[in-house]
Amino acid sequence: QKEVEQDPGPLSVPEGAIVSLNCTYSNSAFQYFMWYRQYSRKGPELLMYTYSSGNKEDGRFTAQVDKSSKYISLFIRDSQPSDSATYLCAMIGSGGSYIPTFGRGTSLIVHP
């Protein structure tokens, strides 16, 4: 079992839809949870960052962490074609290494 599981998709939605992207993980030591967005032929860029359980909102984006279920989500409201990208979840443990463990990424397509 991989430490971080993420459905690769693709996930295709119409413009304006609410998108839910998810990751599950097995390592209970993970404390810091991130979402990266990667456009085609570009490197990943940090989208959101959350510590421990709870929700964090930034504009149309909401990151949610449920440590009891080892499950994290990224919600995108009012999705736009410009949101079409690959979204990677990433996690860091509490053991002193700040190098993230990444999911394989979910490809999102928002069509007009």
Partner 1 sequence: SAVISQKPSRDICQRGTSLTIQCQVDSQVTMMFWYRQQPGQSLTLIATANQGSEATYESGFVIDKFPISRPNLTFSTLTVSNMSPEDSSIYLCSAGGQGINNEQFFGPGTRLTVL
Select from 21, 25, 100, 108 the one that contacts partner 1 (CB under 8 A). 100
| Rounded distance between C-alpha atoms, residue 106 and residue 11, angstroms | 7
Our finding on whether 92 is near partner 1 (CB under 8 A) is: yes
Our finding on whether 8 is near partner 1 (CB under 8 A) is: yes
- Which stretch, 12-20, 61-69, 74-82, 97-105, contacts partner 1 (CB under 8 A)? 97-105
CB 4 within 8 A of CB 91: yes
Our finding on whether 95 is near partner 1 (CB under 8 A) is: no
Interacting residues with partner 1 between 51 and 70 (CB under 8 A): 51
State which amino acid sits at residue 77: R
What 3 state SS string does 51-95 have? ECCEEEEECCEEEEEECCCCEEEEEECCCCHHHCEEEEEEEEECC
| Rounded distance between C-alpha atoms, residue 64 and residue 73, angstroms | 5
Binding mask 11-50 for partner 1 (x = CB under 8 A): ---------------------x--------xxxxxx--x-
Q: What does the binding site for partner 1 look like in residue numbers (CB under 8 A)?
A: 2, 4, 6, 8, 32, 41-46, 49, 51, 88, 90, 92, 98-105
